Chains A and B, each alone.
Chain A
């Protein structure tokens, strides 16, 4: 079956630090990969996505590249802000199953001044 493994948090960084949150996956087909962000007390918002190998998703300074050879989709940001403090979820959906997302356990990011 499908699975997503994320690095455990919490991750605590100072403002303007470089961020990497690791994500690896196992899938039987050709999945699309997503990063969702959840701010305190809110629902999940799509941060970025990639639908095929070597695609790079990007949004709000965050980037992630779909690496089929290493089955990874690591999230990066060059300079984090306090407002980036949230929980980040890596997820995949397999071929023809858009509503059936498989999520990682989430990584909490805390950015301090």
Chain B
């Protein structure tokens, strides 16, 4: 059971470059989301989706785009990378919107913008 799969695991970008972080889950979960983890700040929600075709902004959405064309996939796009986007990114999924549902995380993508 693969769970939540993120690629790539490590990436170095130059300022202004674009890239997409991929996220896929094989658990047929409705809810998917992206977080970033920065030192001393815990994880912060970037964008989330409650189902295919539906996305919404989280706490820190600026500089990021998302789409949800299928239940399984939820890519995160950086259109013009900035050094402030250097961070560890985690994709997560959960079965429903019930707040008690377990949320499963991917292994993370380490992004450095130089």
A residues touching B (Cβ–Cβ < 8 Å)? Answer: 4, 31-32, 34, 36, 42-46, 49, 51, 89, 91, 93-101, 103-106
The smallest beta-carbon distance between B58 and chain A, in angstroms, is 7
Number of A-B residue pairs at CB separation under 8 A: 76
Shortest Cβ distance from residue B86 to the other chain A in the assembled complex, whole angstroms: 17
A sample of 14 cross-chain residue pairs with beta-carbon separation below 8 angstroms, ordered by A number, consists of A44-B90, A46-B104, A89-B42, A95-B99, A98-B98, A99-B45, A99-B48, A99-B103, A100-B33, A100-B45, A101-B43, A101-B103, A104-B42, A105-B42
Interface residues of B in 17-60 (CB under 8 A from A): 31-33, 35, 40-45, 48-50, 58
Taken together as a complex, chains A and B put the C-alpha atoms of A49 and B108 apart, in Å, by: 22
Interface residues of B (CB under 8 A from A): 4, 31-33, 35, 40-45, 48-50, 58, 90, 92, 94, 96-108
Contact of B42 with A99 in the complex, beta carbons under 8 Å: no
**A106 and B42 within 8 A (CB):** yes
Check A42–B107 contact: CB distance below 8 A: yes
Report B-chain residues with C-beta under 8 Å of the C-beta of A43: 4, 90, 105-108
**Judging by beta carbons under 8 Å apart, are B99 and A51 in contact?**
yes
